[in-house]
A and B are shown apart, each in its own frame.
Chain A
């Protein structure tokens, strides 16, 4: 009997303790929530996001990422479909990003053929203003960093070209703007226009002489044929030329 009374008393004490703890924790949570609500905006406002971004070592992050496995797991087509590529491209300072990335190291780690296979290049190009993108990229510095030979050796260029709609790309390129950047004078200086003209001139001269000579030979035959006819000579008895020149005798 005594055991039964003591067990019910200890159970009541435990429930009281639990109720006390719950009320304490609830109060503390409310206090912390109030403090956080008061402090957080000030802390966030005090952080310089740009400074934080500048302190991030993008290269080390890129180095740690297993790019290959990430690429394998990504449905590039679905992502491209969802992204406003043109808007994204316009908001990014491509040159600054390029300056901070080890292009060569990144390219060596990527299976370009796998990426290209999963990408609908034509659809991507349809949504992009190629001229504006090209205008914002410093192609010279980009090319200076990349080992083009190694890159091309790993790329199945033929399959890529087969999938491109060249006509569509050319139609989107401002040829006049490109030509305005070409130094035509320097280009002409490097060609052999003079030699070409001289060669074509000599060819025309040779052709003209050939025609005149052929006409002369034809008239020779005409005249001698009529003379033989008038003199009743046998044309087959006409000697062709000196024996030495026709291979009939020794000089």
Chain B
């Protein structure tokens, strides 16, 4: 099964095709923002509750190791849980992509957790793991290769195109 270059205008039915690097980068950026924003909000609430329970002024910034561990745990939970349940994070859902197994089957819990745990490896060597998305024909990053997953378009581009034409 081969295809020509991606183009929403010439080939609107992209559901199930390998997602490109720009879309994946946007979804990853959204996820990072949500992870950081959610951690900041949750940290503020936790500081308030802990201060009320134990008295004094509890600040997570004064315990950087604990904060880093909490942030890592929150990030793993944020990405692994929705991936194992729906095959996509919130950012992936917004841009319209989802992760599946290499042969196209749905992700199970093991593949989802492994994919999230090995994700930091793609940042090594100047993010070489992510450069693979551009270099490989199947657009798999390093963590995709290790976890046996791929990322595909999951939105009905053809229907979106028809909606756009109807409104003109």
Contact = CB atoms under 8 A, between A and B. Distances in A.
Contacts of B157: 213-214, 217
B40 interface: no
Contact of A240 (B8, B9, B18, B21): B18
Residue of A207, A223, A237 contacting most chain B CB atoms (<10 Å): A223
Interface in A200-229: 206-207, 209-210, 212-214, 216-221, 223-225, 227-228
A241 B97 CA distance: 13
Contacts, number: 129
B16 A220 contact: no
A232 to B, nearest CB: 13
Residue of B105, B160, B163 contacting most chain A CB atoms (<10 Å): B160
B137 A242 contact: no
B134 interface: yes
A217 B104 CA distance: 20
A92 interface: no
Contacts of B69: none
Contacts of B4: 235-236, 238
B6 A221 contact: yes
A89 B1 CA distance: 86
Residue of A225, A239, A245, A249 contacting most chain B CB atoms (<10 Å): A245
B14 interface: yes
Contacts of A187: none
A213 B135 contact: no
Contact count band on B: 35 or more
A243 interface: yes
A83 interface: no
A241 B96 contact: no
A221 B137 contact: no
A248 B152 CA distance: 15
Nearest to A227: B134
B37 to A, nearest CB: 19
Given A221-B20, A238-B3, A245-B152, A214 B8 contact: yes
Given A244-B105, A245-B16, A212 B95 contact: yes
Given A210-B164, A212-B95, A218-B7, A240 B155 contact: no
Contact of B22 (A219, A233, A236): A219
A172 B79 CA distance: 69
Given A207-B167, A220-B20, A241-B1, 4 more contacts: A214-B161, A225-B5, A231-B135, A246-B1
Interface of A: 206-207, 209-210, 212-214, 216-221, 223-225, 227-228, 231, 233, 235-246, 248-249, 251
In the complex, the 10 A-B pairs of residues with the closest C-beta atoms, listed nearest first:
A220-B20, A242-B104, A244-B104, A245-B16, A240-B3, A221-B6, A219-B22, A210-B160, A216-B23, A245-B104
22 contacts: A206-B163, A207-B163, A209-B94, A212-B95, A213-B95, A213-B96, A213-B155, A213-B157, A214-B164, A216-B26, A217-B7, A217-B23, A218-B9, A220-B19, A221-B7, A231-B135, A239-B138, A241-B1, A241-B16, A242-B103, A245-B152, A248-B1
